[in-house]
Amino acid sequence: MDMLLVKKAQKNDTAAFIQLIEENKAALYKVARGYLYSDDDIADVMQDTILSAYEHIGDLKTASYFKTWITRILINHCTDLLRRQKKFVSIEQAEEASISFPESDYEFQELLKELPENDRVIFLLYYGEGFNTREISEVLELNENTVKSRLRRGRKKLEQAISY
């Protein structure tokens, strides 16, 4: 990622901000898909994330952490939505949760369902987006050793699931 682009976006260069979003939207979508199953919910969370990032990009202290920063914003919006949905789940929302994934990601997504939600996001960030354990610990606000142990435990669980 171009740090100059981040610096331009911080100086209210809308074109630079749009370019940053374009470069990161596929990665953000994958993370949101790890939390949410409804395309409508994902679209809402993506929109809220982009708006929040645009409004607060001036608060980003280190340009090189843009991807980590915007991913954290996305995760916060996802968890807020899930918290609100737990209060009320309609029949339509339950049916939407069964929407299928793109064929290329289907097996990976099915495997991830074997893991608890906390571990699912770690796997998605590590294997799906290429974040390292330090970056994941920053994004999820966890100790790095916790991230490593959840990866280890999750690998064992997935290994067992594949063996059956």
> Which DSSP string do the residues of 32-101 spell out, in sequence order?
HHHH---HHHHHHHHHHHHHHHHHHGGG-S-GGGHHHHHHHHHHHHHHHHHHHHHH---HHHHHHTTPPP
CATH classification at residue 6: 1.10.1740.10
Q: What angle do CA 80, 81, 83 make, to 5 degrees?
A: 65
* pLDDT tens over the chain, length 164 residues: 578 999 999 999 999 999 999 999 999 998 998 888 889 999 999 999 999 999 999 999 999 999 999 999 999 999 899 888 876 544 444 444 433 444 456 666 677 777 887 788 888 888 878 889 998 888 888 899 999 999 999 888 888 877 76
Give yes or no: residues 124 and 55 share one domain. Answer: no
Give yes or no: residues 122 and 70 share one domain. Answer: no
Distance (Å) of CA 31 to CA 58, 90, 92: 24, 24, 23
Give yes or no: residues 29 and 94 share one domain. Answer: yes
pLDDT for 18: 95
Give yes or no: residues 4 and 75 share one domain. Answer: yes
Q: How many domains does the chain have?
A: 2
Give yes or no: residues 9 and 89 share one domain. Answer: yes
Q: What is the domain range of residue 41?
A: 1-99
Under a CB-based contact definition with an 8 Å cutoff, are residues 99 and 38 in contact? yes
> Which DSSP string do the residues of 5-20 spell out, in sequence order?
HHHHHHTT-HHHHHHH
Give yes or no: residues 59 and 80 share one domain. Answer: yes
Longest dimension (CA), the chain: 54
Give yes or no: residues 77 and 8 share one domain. Answer: yes
Give yes or no: residues 106 and 86 share one domain. Answer: no
Give yes or no: residues 116 and 78 share one domain. Answer: no
* Whole-number Å distance between alpha carbons of 34 and 37: 8
Give yes or no: residues 87 and 111 share one domain. Answer: no
Q: Which residue type is seen at 41?
A: D
pLDDT for 72: 93
Query: Which of 99, 114, 132 is at the close of a domain?
Result: 99
CATH classification at residue 142: 1.10.10.10
Give yes or no: residues 30 and 108 share one domain. Answer: no
* Whole-number Å distance between alpha carbons of 83 and 120: 17
pLDDT tens per residue, range 104-145: 566 666 777 778 877 888 888 888 788 899 988 888 888 999
Whose tokens are 């339950």? That residue is 94
